[in-house]
Structure 1
Amino acid sequence: MALVEFTPQLRRFVDASSCQCEASTLREALDAAFAAQPRLRGYILDEQGHLRVNVAVFIDGRRARDPRGLSDPLRSDSRIHVLQALSGG
């Protein structure tokens, strides 16, 4: 099963527990995580269902290529890391 993991920064706002799921695309994996914790969706996706600009997703150590359609393919044992980009000045 694919494993979706979230950075600890998200835990300040919402339960961002890891999620194991059967998924063949990034969208399916994220949808499974959102089904378990619906409030998480608003922190990860914008109103059009695309990754927010301040969110980066890595699949098996490589950055996701389709932040809009979330169609990146997954293996059955893929590890997905969802990170919020940090900024400062």
Structure 2
Amino acid sequence: MAHLHFTQQLSRFLDVPTVEVAAPRLRAALESAFVQQPRLRGYVLDEQGALRPNVLIFIDGARCRERRELDDVLRPDSQVYILQALSGG
């Protein structure tokens, strides 16, 4: 099963443990995580379902290819890291 790891920044707002999912693509994996924690969707995706500008996703060490479709292929043992980019001065 693929493992989704959410940044500790999100843990300030909601419970975001590592989620194990059996999903062939990134979008399906995220949707599975949102079923377990519905409020998480608004922190990760915008109103059109695309990745928010301040969110980065890495799959097995490589940045996800596409921010709107989120159709990157996952292996059964993929490690997916969902991070909020930090900004400010």
Letter in 1 for 2:41: R
Structure 2 gaps, min length 5 = none
1 CA distance for matches of 2:73 and 2:27? Answer: 9
Structure 1 gaps, min length 5 = none
TM-score by length of 2: 0.98
Partner of 2:71: 71
Cα shift at 1:14: 1.1
Between the aligned residues of both structures, percent identity stands at 58
Moved more, 51-60 or 15-24: 15-24
TM-score by length of 1: 0.98
Letter in 2 for 1:62: A
2 CA distance for matches of 1:70 and 1:17? Answer: 21
Letter in 2 for 1:34: F
Cα shift at 1:15: 1.2
CA RMSD, Structure 1 to Structure 2 (Å): 0.5
Secondary structure of 2:43 counterpart: helix
